[in-house]
Structure 1
Amino acid sequence: MAQRVSIESPSGMEAQLDEKPGHAVATVTTPSVSDESEDGRSTHIPLKMKLLSVVMVSAIGFGAHWSSGVTGAMKSTVKKQLHINNAQFSVLEASEDFMVTALMLVSGLVTDRLGGASAMLWGNAIFSVGSIFIAAATTVRSYKFMIFGTVVKALGDIATQVAQYKIFSSWFAPSNGFASTLALELGIGKIGSFVGKATANVIAKKTGDFMWVYWTAVFMNLFTNVMTLIFWFFTRWCRKTYAGTTDPATGEKLTENNKKFELGKMLRLPWTFWSIIAFTTFQTSAAIVYSQNATEMAEQRFDIDAVTAGWYAAMSQYLGFFLVPLLGIFIDLLGNRISVMVVCAAGMLLSMCLAAWGPTIGGTAASFGVFAFASSLGPTVIIDSIRTSMWYQEVFGTGYAIKITINNCMNIIIRIITGVIQDRDKNSYDNVVIVYVVQTAGAVVVAGSLFALSFWSTDLRILQFTKKQRMANGELINDRREKFETGKAGERNRKLSLGLFIAMIFMILGAWCAYFWGVATGNNS
């Protein structure tokens, strides 16, 4: 007969365990507490305030996503107007990736220390200055000046990429709204990217000069600066009014900023975190590079003009925006994060195979359709899995910065390789897409391995938890965190975590070598 045993967790939460032979299930209940903290601030944050923050952050991101969709859509036009080849265009895009790999880790640490709202304020300001430089470069038709503007813009983008999701992590816990809120932002972002990619060539054609596309992006970025300033004042008011929130499952206090730089915890990220990084290394890079080349590939495969190709490419990449919020709700309620990764990777692989071995109009159209569905699954499940796999929310900004750094390292390497292949292949994508097949096959291998291991590994099984299971096993999660840090297992885990962090450093150095090789051989003059 089962026995129910009550214990007191370190967080002050009462946990009850059903003890059976070889089986224990923990249920966690939060004790009744006052709605006010010792300093008089309320510990209860109204849902409407949380939703208001999500709406404002999403509005801020809309402009950045609009700008991100522009350059890829204008690839053929930029090459013609600036008289550059594919290798030089790859260097142009890789310049932003290079800056990210150089500074993103520092940005993650700073964001964890200072908070997301402050990072977004100065980050968006720099982002706008870079956009102005890029627009000016297109006006005077200067390739070098455009690279300079891209580097400046990247400095701002580095700050804002981490900041917005750091804010979400301080308001919502895993399986308690985090996936839903970031999915809402990503869905709105997809709309912004769709509009940017779809209208870029239309603006260029109607105005008679492609520079107006980039000046439109400048005005869009000025709007984001106004929204960012409003949000900054909003967060200052919230800090004075509310005392913060906790993870209802584990009792962990969620924070937007820290009292010190958490370098030690950055070097002790768990192996489950790095397993998600392995997946995003293949999947996200393939999605990003393929997306940025989709318009030009549509022009070639469908034999259509840039405007029509822009619409086709935009629809293939962003019409899945309505799936993203639904996926966030699914993950919050039903979990199964690794299972979603398997579906995402399999869909991406199918899409790339269709593009590689079905280079007809029908094959390319089918590839675009499958890609629209599969790529919509990736960002939400990856970011939420990163948050769920980490023992400490206070270093989530650093963890997400590592994810972006790795993605950009891979982007640099793949862009340089594919740019050279395309130039040698008379501007065709027939051989380039084979590289994408290899990438997505790697994502399938990683996701499939994690799914198989989840039946034996408790730490991976946590990623599969539904909301009900996570709430019932909060004490189990706390116990796994303690075991990760103490005893012989703790020493072994620290060495493994440090080794994986060092491997990341070597990957960064490899990406830098690829970038400078591209600069040297791409004739970026």
Structure 2
Amino acid sequence: MRSLKDDDDNQIQSAVDPKPVSNQSTCSSHKLHEDLFSPEELNACDREVTDPESEKDPLMKASIQLKIVILICMLALPVGCHYLEATMGTLKTTLKHKMHINNTEFSILLSSVSLVNTVLPLLAGTFIDDVSHLGSIRATTIVSMVIFIGSLLVSIAGIRNSYPIMITGQIIYGLGGGMIVTMQEGILSRWFRDRQLAIVIGILLCIARLTKWAAKMVCYPIISATGSDVLPIHVATMLCASGVVMNAVYWMIMYKNGWATVTGKEIVQVKAKYRNQFKRTEKDNSSSIITNSFRWSASLFLYIPATFWMVPWVQLIMSSVLSSFDDIATEFVQFRFQTTSIMAGYQSSLTQVVPIVAAPVMGVIVHRFGKRLTSLLFATFVLTASMVCLAYTWAPPAVGMILFSLALALGPVSVLSSTSLLLPHELAGTGMGLHKCANNIGTTIVSVIVGYVQDLTYHDGDPHDDQADLRQEYHGVMIFYLVMAGCSILVVAIFWMMDRKLLNGWLQADKKERDRRLRCVQQLQEEEAKQYRYGPAYESKSTEISAQLQGIGSQLRERKSYVYVSIYSFWLVASWAVFLTFALMPIYQHYS
């Protein structure tokens, strides 16, 4: 009886159908990043004749209807995660009363999700890029199951009012929550990097915000109608189970169309319209050949260009404020503006309203007209204005929440659509993983500090005390948010200058300019293939192609740099140190 591995190998062999090449010469040593390639790959064992037809994307044969179905599957994967995240934040006051915990302990409860995702999304990104091993299909299946198990434990903890079980469930759910979003974004980036990516990102954010808005809106009405304060968590658990089903649909589609084996091993992957340094043109006695030499390696982190590392900085500073404030918005409105929990839920849900409509529109605008960093810079000013409005004016909370919602619509679309434009398409998943990890690093640090500052401002954390004290409970927290929002303005301004100087405004370019640059790279590579037999001409074209690849964000560094990786690692370690310091506080400070 044949094994499943034999079946995979047979299907892969029949799908690839390589064309024979005669008189192939031994490949020359790769001058750039040769330490990233195995000896077998450097010997060009898997070369194929240069042919425009052979460079066509194997997935382009898919009909528009089929692509829409795949897009729907990807959009549905993290719906349960978004719903559970919004529900837990909305139930902050209720859960504190039921489990008899303070603000710091509740912040630990929420941060336990983001803590494990300070590393795991990066693994998820490598799973997407390294299709020769686990691949995206099997990885999303495993992660979807982990999410469901974790959400089930959170539901059980809600029934039993158990803080330890709930933290355990949050950690298990968090193991998959951050990874599934990264995988979703990575897969969509591979499909749409040069094909309306900004529009797809807008739709992605629209669905995420719509889910969170619905969760906040219906949370307390469900409790009032049923008398059960854990039913909203049960609803989230059922949505997590639906993610497992949608992943099975995606698996079936990939298998039925011959893009994956029955065991989920991917046979083909999306190709770009151009070649980067991972595909080398080499000389044969009779023709030019293309060698696909990409092999994922941890050494790649040292070659990632400086411009890309600004994305994690934006996530660390700006996006952590967006994520953290969204978790405490309901209680903030309830305390400062002295309203009921139901009305506070309605008003805090306004933070999700603008992205529902504006995110897809912004996706179309950014795709057509560019100006990603201009939009991002404007979002930082809006975020700062919203913090001032909520903390220092008595304007209705709806005003500040809608301003915050506008920042939530403008910022993420710009950041997410920029991420995959700053790396070669083979590293789309890795880039998404790095930016998602940075978001969770910042959210972990900010959320824990916010809970501690809140307890310092209002020591016993009991919301039944004097109402005047409740209004001041978030005073120190809002000062902290305002400082972070101001720092985000500076970071984005530096990002804008780096893009202008190093990439000639690639992130600001409109569709016409982006297409022109892509065509220029294609034309140069075609000339390189024709003129390869003439040494001096080839060297000249290689230099020019490298410059053009840098202009479209697809050129890695020529030399290793440990600076950016070291800074990133410092904040990663800092997030774990902050979490453990405050998580263990009840022990070393002898809490009763």
Please give the TM-score of this superposition, normalised by the length of structure 2. 0.75
- Which moved further from structure 2: 236-245 or 209-218? 236-245
User: Aligned partners of 1:334 and 1:32: how far apart in 2?
Assistant: 33
Native 8 Å contact 1:35 1:42 kept in 2: no
User: Aligned partners of 1:121 and 1:491: how far apart in 2?
Assistant: 32
Could you tell me how far 1:259 is from its partner in structure 2?
Answer: 7.5
Could you tell me how far 1:261 is from its partner in structure 2?
Answer: 3.2
User: Aligned partners of 2:88 and 2:167: how far apart in 1?
Assistant: 12
- 1:105 counterpart (122, 143, 154): 122
- The aligned counterpart of 1:188 is 207
1:122-141, Cα deviation, whole Å (9 max, x unpaired): 11111000000001011111
Q: Secondary structure in 2 aligned to 1:494?
A: coil
Q: Considering only CA atoms, is the larger Rg found in Structure 1 or Structure 2?
A: 2
Could you tell me how far 1:382 is from its partner in structure 2?
Answer: 0.7
- 1:444 counterpart (473, 486, 489): 489
- The aligned counterpart of 1:462 is 506
Q: Unaligned 5+ residue runs, structure 1?
A: 1-30
- Pair 1:472-2:519 in alignment: no
- The aligned counterpart of 2:11 is none
Native 8 Å contact 1:191 1:318 kept in 2: yes
Could you tell me how far 1:203 is from its partner in structure 2?
Answer: 1.8
Distance 1:315 1:389, change over 3 A: same
User: Aligned partners of 1:276 and 1:318: how far apart in 2?
Assistant: 25
- The aligned counterpart of 1:47 is 64
Could you tell me how far 1:100 is from its partner in structure 2?
Answer: 1.0
User: Aligned partners of 2:205 and 2:88: how far apart in 1?
Assistant: 19
Could you tell me how far 1:156 is from its partner in structure 2?
Answer: 1.6
Distance 1:484 1:312, change over 3 A: same
- The aligned counterpart of 2:435 is 403
Native 8 Å contact 1:171 1:254 kept in 2: no
Could you tell me how far 1:433 is from its partner in structure 2?
Answer: 0.8
Task: Map residues 258-269 of structure 1 onto 2, 5 A cutoff.
Answer: 260-269=295-304
Native 8 Å contact 1:112 1:396 kept in 2: yes
Q: What amino acid does structure 2 have at the position aligned with 1:240? A: W
- The aligned counterpart of 1:364 is 397
Could you tell me how far 1:522 is from its partner in structure 2?
Answer: 4.6
Q: Secondary structure in 2 aligned to 1:304?
A: coil
User: Aligned partners of 1:245 and 1:145: how far apart in 2?
Assistant: 42
- The aligned counterpart of 1:435 is 480
Q: What amino acid does structure 1 have at the position aligned with 2:559? A: R
Native 8 Å contact 2:278 2:294 kept in 1: no
- The aligned counterpart of 1:247 is 272
Native 8 Å contact 1:268 1:494 kept in 2: yes
Q: Secondary structure in 1 aligned to 2:228?
A: coil
1:129-181, Cα deviation, whole Å (9 max, x unpaired): 0000001011111101100000110112133121111111221124x211111
Q: What amino acid does structure 2 have at the position aligned with 1:157? A: G
1:287-326, Cα deviation, whole Å (9 max, x unpaired): 0001011000111122121111111101233343110011
Native 8 Å contact 2:205 2:355 kept in 1: no
- 1:293 counterpart (328, 332, 335): 328
- Which moved further from structure 2: 277-286 or 133-142? 277-286
Task: Map residues 208-223 of structure 1 onto 2, 5 A cutoff.
Answer: 208-223=227-242
Distance 1:70 1:474, change over 3 A: same
- Pair 1:323-2:358 in alignment: yes
- The aligned counterpart of 1:415 is 447
Could you tell me how far 1:491 is from its partner in structure 2?
Answer: 10
Distance 1:37 1:475, change over 3 A: closer
- Pair 1:166-2:231 in alignment: no
User: Aligned partners of 1:284 and 1:335: how far apart in 2?
Assistant: 21
Q: What amino acid does structure 2 have at the position aligned with 1:193? A: K
Q: How many percent identity over aligned positions?
A: 22
Distance 1:116 1:254, change over 3 A: farther
Could you tell me how far 1:481 is from its partner in structure 2?
Answer: 7.7
Considering only aligned residues, what root-mean-square deviation do their CA atoms show, in Å?
A: 2.9
User: Aligned partners of 2:258 and 2:556: how far apart in 1?
Assistant: 38
1:373-409, Cα deviation, whole Å (9 max, x unpaired): 111112221111111111x111221111111111111
Native 8 Å contact 1:50 1:171 kept in 2: no
1:32-64, Cα deviation, whole Å (9 max, x unpaired): 9559979xx675443333222112211223222
Q: Secondary structure in 2 aligned to 1:271?
A: coil
Q: Secondary structure in 2 aligned to 1:344?
A: helix
- The aligned counterpart of 1:278 is 313
Task: Map residues 32-111 of structure 1 onto 2, 5 A cutoff.
Answer: 33-34=52-53, 43-111=60-128
Task: Map residues 298-309 of structure 1 onto 2, 5 A cutoff.
Answer: 298-309=333-344
Distance 1:103 1:243, change over 3 A: closer
Q: What amino acid does structure 1 have at the position aligned with 2:331? A: E
Native 8 Å contact 1:485 1:491 kept in 2: no
User: Aligned partners of 2:577 and 2:272: how far apart in 1?
Assistant: 42
- Pair 1:506-2:570 in alignment: yes
Native 8 Å contact 1:109 1:398 kept in 2: yes
Could you tell me how far 1:77 is from its partner in structure 2?
Answer: 0.6
Distance 1:221 1:453, change over 3 A: closer
Q: What amino acid does structure 1 have at the position aligned with 2:126? A: L
Distance 1:238 1:282, change over 3 A: farther
- The aligned counterpart of 2:559 is 494
User: Aligned partners of 1:522 and 1:345: how far apart in 2?
Assistant: 36
Native 8 Å contact 1:43 1:243 kept in 2: no
Distance 1:259 1:155, change over 3 A: farther
Native 8 Å contact 1:169 1:254 kept in 2: no
Native 8 Å contact 2:103 2:451 kept in 1: yes
Native 8 Å contact 2:205 2:413 kept in 1: yes
- 1:128 counterpart (141, 145, 148): 148
User: Aligned partners of 1:495 and 1:147: how far apart in 2?
Assistant: 40
Native 8 Å contact 1:272 1:460 kept in 2: no
User: Aligned partners of 2:270 and 2:124: how far apart in 1?
Assistant: 24
User: Aligned partners of 1:49 and 1:430: how far apart in 2?
Assistant: 51
Native 8 Å contact 2:303 2:557 kept in 1: no
Native 8 Å contact 2:305 2:557 kept in 1: no
